[in-house]
Amino acid sequence: MTTWVDGAEGSLFDVDNLPYGVFSLAGEEPRVGVRIGELVLDLAPVAAAEMLDAHHVFQERSLNALMAEGRLVRESVRRWITGLLTDETERDLVEPHLVPVADVTLHLPVEVADYVDFYASLDHASNVGRIFRPDQEPLLPNWRHLPVGYHGRAGTVVASGTPVTRPSGQHRGDDGPTYGPSTRLDIEAELGFVVGTPSELGSPVAYGAFADHVFGVVGLNDWSARDIQAWEYVPLGPFLGKSFATSISAWVTPLEALDAAWVDLPGQDPTPLPYLGPGDVQGLDIDVEVLLNGTVVSRPPYRTMYWSPAQMLAHITVNGASLRTGDLYASGTISGPERDQRGSFLELSWGGTEPFGAELWGDGRTFLEDGDEVVLRYTAPGTAGGRIALGEVSGVVEPARV
Ligand code: CA
């Protein structure tokens, strides 16, 4: 299956990718588009011209209406778009509605309902345990039995490109707590999963129903203030050290684009409880790159995670909590076993004690400085044999407003 769109074939945004986003042109309302190569297809006018049943969902300012249509519509819309972009006879209809990515403004693609952040990387959890609690076992007793997580702040999830203001708050001090801008501002390179199909209050969502409920995947940066976090997090977990901003990619990669990316995860010991779907646990073979001011400083591999996306979804709902369209849950920091695979600066600099990147920045770096730009990039095997890109996540740190 090849596309007639110039420049798209063989690119990271070939016709086997087709991520969705919300875009606008100057003076026009935001609406839903799909990316092909370096272009965005404006879906609403094409869907209206073809009298597609679901054409109204493309006129919305978020993907929620499209996502709420469910798995069958998600799959059939993808087939329809694939046909538009591969069938030469559609070219006259479609080509006038292709706009260069460079000419559009991209918006937060999802109206985020609830946001949950997990802690699903064994290497990350072990590293953080060693850094924060050096005299104890790195993993707490529950860690291998359930995907540990917390509810985050949906209202401060922002689109890639949104500047991040350095947060202020309480930090531990020798003579009691002090207040001021965080001096240990950090990133967490993660993947986010976006829910399309809701579930009924009181009824758990089975492990095997993952693809019926999850619409797609976003890149995600869980900005973290380590000094605020370290003082506040016991006993109830992350709070203001995390809630000031969470960035997601402007593009949502539909699950079908990742069909070739599923791999066996490293393995789970002990075997988790039955609701967590023991055996043949599958994750995604997604390569992540962390760039600081344009230079790659880490390459975390998502295939090394301990808990799978389906297990995290089953766990969110095992108590009967319902899903809503627009729910977002994130993997937790992706860190591999090697030093250059760590997905946070906390780990790359080992709690700030071992600056990294001395070959690039003289004394090396620990935590983020004002003006720093962080970009997270993600690629995965595509269904056509090459690779596809997921949406990247960028953000520049702005000074605290005190
Ligand atoms: Ca996190």
Q: Is 58 within the bounds of a domain?
A: yes
| Beta strands 328-330; 115-118: pairing state | parallel
Question: Which sign, positive or negative, has the C-alpha torsion 126, 128, 129, 135?
Answer: positive
Q: Say if residue 64 is in the same domain as residue 184.
A: no
Peptide bond connecting 235 to the previous residue in cis, omega within 30 degrees of 0: yes
DSSP states of 61-104: SSSHHHHHT-HHHHHHHHHHHHHHHH-GGGHHHHGGGEEEGGGS
Nearest by Cα to 379 from 3, 117, 36, 13: 13
Q: Let me know if residue 87 belongs to a domain.
A: yes
* Residues of the chain falling short of pLDDT 70: none
- The CA 149 to ligand 1 mean position distance, Å, reads 9
Q: Using the mean position of ligand 1's atoms as its centre, give its distance from the Cα of residue 119 in Å.
A: 7
pLDDT tens, position by position, 250-302: 999 999 999 999 999 999 999 999 999 877 799 999 999 999 999 999 999 99
Cα-to-centroid distance, 156 and ligand 1 (Å): 14
Of 53, 88, 106, the one marking the end of a domain is 106
CATH number for the domain harbouring residue 224: 3.90.850.10
For residue 332, report the distance from its CA to the centre of ligand 1, in Å: 4
Same domain, 154 and 51: no
Q: Kindly report, residue by residue over 59-99, the tens digit of the pLDDT.
A: 999 999 999 999 999 999 999 999 999 999 999 999 999 99
pLDDT of residue 402: 76
Single residue among 78, 106, 134 that ends a domain in this structure? 106
Does some domain include residue 197?
Answer: yes
Q: Are residues 184 and 315 in the same domain?
A: yes
The encoded tokens of residue 156 equal 């401060």
Q: Check residue 360 and give its pLDDT.
A: 86
Residue 15 belongs to a domain: no
- Answer whether residue 4 is part of any domain: no
d(CA 58, CA 55): 6
Could you tell me the strand order of the sheet in which 39-42 lies?
Answer: 98-100, 39-42, 31-36, 20-24, 105-107
Q: Which residue range is the domain that position 29 belongs to?
A: 20-106
CA 223 to CA 346: how far, in whole Å?
12
CATH code: domain of residue 89: 2.30.30.230
CB 3 within 8 A of CB 36: yes
> Is the pTM above the cut of 0.95?
yes
Domain count, the chain: 2
Q: Is 124 a catalytic residue?
A: yes
Of 56, 124, 151, 171, which is the active-site residue?
124
Whether residue 184 sits in one domain with residue 63 = no
The answer on 179 and 92 residing in a single domain is no
What pLDDT does residue 53 have? Answer: 86
Q: Are residues 70 and 202 in the same domain?
A: no
Distance between CA atoms of residues 71 and 158, nearest Å? 26
Measure 152 CA to ligand 1 centroid, in angstroms.
9
Distance (angstroms) between ligand 1 centre and the Cα of 215 equals 21
Residue 121 lies in a domain: yes
Same domain for 291 and 360? yes
Please give the radius of gyration of the chain, using alpha carbons only, rounded to the nearest integer: 21
* Shared-domain flag, residues 95 and 131: no
What is the model's pLDDT at position 113? 98
96 plus 126 within the same structural domain: no
- Tell me what pLDDT residue 279 has: 73
**What pLDDT score does 399 carry?**
98
Residues 46 and 140 both lie in one domain: no
Statement to judge: residues 74 and 125 lie in one domain: no
From ligand 1's centre to the CA of 187, what distance in Å?
9
Q: Is residue 8 part of a domain?
A: no
**CA–CA distance, 386 with 380 (Å, rounded to integer):** 9
Identify whether 91 is part of a domain.
Answer: yes
Which of 87, 106, 125 delimits the end of a domain?
A: 106
Cα–ligand 1 centroid distance for 175 (angstroms): 30
- 339 and 292 within one domain: yes
* Residue pair 385/14 in contact by the 8 Å Cβ criterion: no
Q: How many whole angstroms from 362 Cα to the centroid of ligand 1? A: 29
238 Cα–ligand 1 center, Å: 9
Residue 118 CA to ligand 1 centre (angstroms) = 7
